[in-house]
Every structure is written in structure tokens, then in C-alpha cells.
Amino acid sequence: MEQIAEPYVIHYPRIAAVADREGDRVELVEFFDCVGGAMWSAKHYAQSPLVVSARPVGGSVRYMLKRGTVDLALEGSRFPAGISGVGVSAKEIGISYIGMGGGGVGAAACRSDAAGVIRSRSDESGGGKVAGSTIWLPRMQRVIIGVDDTDTPEEGATWTLVHNIAKAVADEKSVYLSHTIVQLFPVPFRTKNCVAIAAEFASSEPDRLTGRFRQLLERYTLSDKTGMAVSAAFEPSSKLLEFGKAVKRGEVRPDLFTGLRDPDLSIIMDGRGITGAVAALPFFTQYEEALRLCDGRM
């Protein structure tokens, strides 16, 4: 007969967190193994005053949080679990959870040994107990890498190359969070589908990450027109978003790009594809908007 080592614990594979420059806002990214448990958490944790939003993204749930500590008035079935604390220091982010019954198991036992957790403190959980935990994660920043124009009419595909490079450079210092295909306006000189890619990371070594990514991109691109851009902002600026929308709506004038001023934007490879690479950045994880074709025909 099969044996289950921990029949009442489901371990989260990885948890990561990025903070804004001031440390007032945190995005918590929980990769899950059990979709039912993750959706249950997203539903109830969203009721916490510290949670601005909760949304599924692929195999993860993302919680946009604000720093602080609250006492949660838990109530079975209605509000059985939540996030009760968000702390930010120079190098760490602390997240406190609390729950009752099965929600307490999720709050205490399931997250404490996830990859990415530096250390944790947990109460005894199970049955009807109210239990909580605090996990401490490395304080990371968001790094979005935009890429366009790596293929030729004969071979290659930018979306596959970017994903494979992102997997190759990912490590404990730079966690690969998401991959977004961004549909651009189909200009005449496109290869075929005219898309650019945004690869998102949580990183404590953004310069090292960017350098390693560039090395592999230069090695494997098939085009001499490749563009690579990097955004190190917690969220892309309104100017960057407007530029991205303009590139989705039509072929942009060169002065629109040269007039773009963003202190968190770095141009790494300046081929013709740089326009699409920059345009892809603000659409990371916004899949419906990213994939919308704005050519006036549909």
C-alpha cells in the first residue's frame, strides 16, 4: 500500500516577493501545487486590509500588499484566513499569515519550507486550531526584460528563445516569474506575426541577471536587428505604457522612441527590434491586453 509522508500538508514549491523603492508596496508571488487551495486562499486573503488585490497568473497567485500589521476578525466560512502582517527591511520581506482549521494549516505548515523562504516561525496547526506563521523572504526588485526580432523568415521564434534563456539564467538570486507574448501592430518588415516578449524576474542581482541574459541572447539570436530592453521599475511608468499602446496601434515615428525618458529603462541591444522590445515591457502578465491585435480589422 502506498504511503503518504505528510497527509495533511501541501507544500508550496516557491514563494518570492518584490518591493517598491520606498518599501511601502510589496507584490507577493506564491507558486502553488494545489490549485484548489491556492484559489481558496486568493478568495479569502483578499479580504485582509493589507491586500490591495489578489489574482492568479499561470501557476501562481499574486498578492499586491501594503506594509503594516492588522488584527483580523476571522470567522469560519466567511473569513477563515488572511494576511496579517507585511514588513519590509533593507534585505528582507516578512509576511505573516493566520487562519483557522484547514486555513490554519495553509497559513502555518504549507508555506514555511517553500523555496525562497529564508526562515519561518509557525504555530501548531490542524483540527479546529487558529494558527499562524511568519515567513521571511529576500527583498527583491522586479526586472522585466523585453526582446524583439531574434528570428528570420527561414528559422527561429522569439517567444521560445526568450523562455529558454529565462529558464537558463534563473537561480535563487533571480527568480523567473512570467513570460508574456505582446502582439504589436503588423508592420511591413515583420517576420510574420509581429510579436515581442516580456520576461519578468524577481531579482536581487539585476545587473548580473541582465548581463547573463544578454550573453545568451547575443549567442543564439539569428538576427542582426535584435532589440533588448530592461525595466527595473516596480511598475512601468505611464509614459512607457503610452508608448507600448502606440506601438500596438501602428508603426511609430522614430522621435516617439527617442523622446521617451524613463530613469528605470535601460537599452541593452539597440537593433531595429528595440521598439518592440520596449513596447512589450508594460504589458507583462496583462495577457488579454498584451494579445489584443489593434490593426483596425477586428
Same-domain pairing of 251 and 158: yes
Same-domain pairing of 116 and 246: no
Same-domain pairing of 151 and 279: yes
Same-domain pairing of 59 and 165: no
| 6 inside domain | no
Strand partners, 45: none
Give the residue numbers spanning the domain of 265.
141-291
| 4 inside domain | no
Tell me how many domains the chain contains: 2
DSSP for residue 154: S
Taking residue 49's Cβ as centre, other Cβ atoms within 10 Å add up to 13
| 51 inside domain | yes
**pTM of the predicted model, to two decimals?**
0.94
| 126 inside domain | yes
Same-domain pairing of 194 and 269: yes
pLDDT value of residue 127: 72
The one-letter amino acid code at 60 reads S
Q: Is 143 helix (H, G, I), strand (E, B) or coil?
A: strand
Same-domain pairing of 227 and 282: yes
Nearest to 151 by CA among 224, 228, 223: 223
Same-domain pairing of 148 and 125: no
Query: Cell numbers at residue 104, please?
Result: 490554519
pLDDT value of residue 189: 54
| 170 inside domain | yes
Same-domain pairing of 23 and 71: yes
* CATH number for the domain harbouring residue 195: 3.30.70.2200
Same-domain pairing of 70 and 107: yes
Same-domain pairing of 154 and 287: yes
pLDDT (tens place) for every residue of the chain, 298 residues total: 889 999 989 999 999 999 999 999 999 999 999 999 999 999 999 999 999 999 999 999 999 999 999 999 999 999 999 999 999 999 999 999 999 987 887 787 889 899 999 999 988 877 778 888 999 999 999 999 999 999 876 777 899 999 999 999 999 999 999 999 999 988 655 545 689 999 999 999 999 999 999 999 999 999 999 999 999 999 999 999 999 999 988 767 666 666 677 889 999 999 989 999 999 999 999 999 999 997 655 4
Alpha-carbon distances, residue 137 vs 16, 19, 55, 83, 281 (angstroms): 7, 11, 20, 15, 25
pLDDT value of residue 19: 98
| 3 inside domain | no
pLDDT value of residue 298: 44
Query: Cell numbers at residue 121, please?
Result: 516561525
Helices 158-169, 206-220: axis angle to 10 degrees equals 140
Query: At 215, which helix (H) or strand (E)?
Result: helix 206-220
Same-domain pairing of 30 and 118: yes
pLDDT value of residue 253: 66
Nearest to 167 by CA among 124, 199, 123: 199
Same-domain pairing of 133 and 173: no
Nearest to 281 by CA among 198, 194, 201, 209: 198
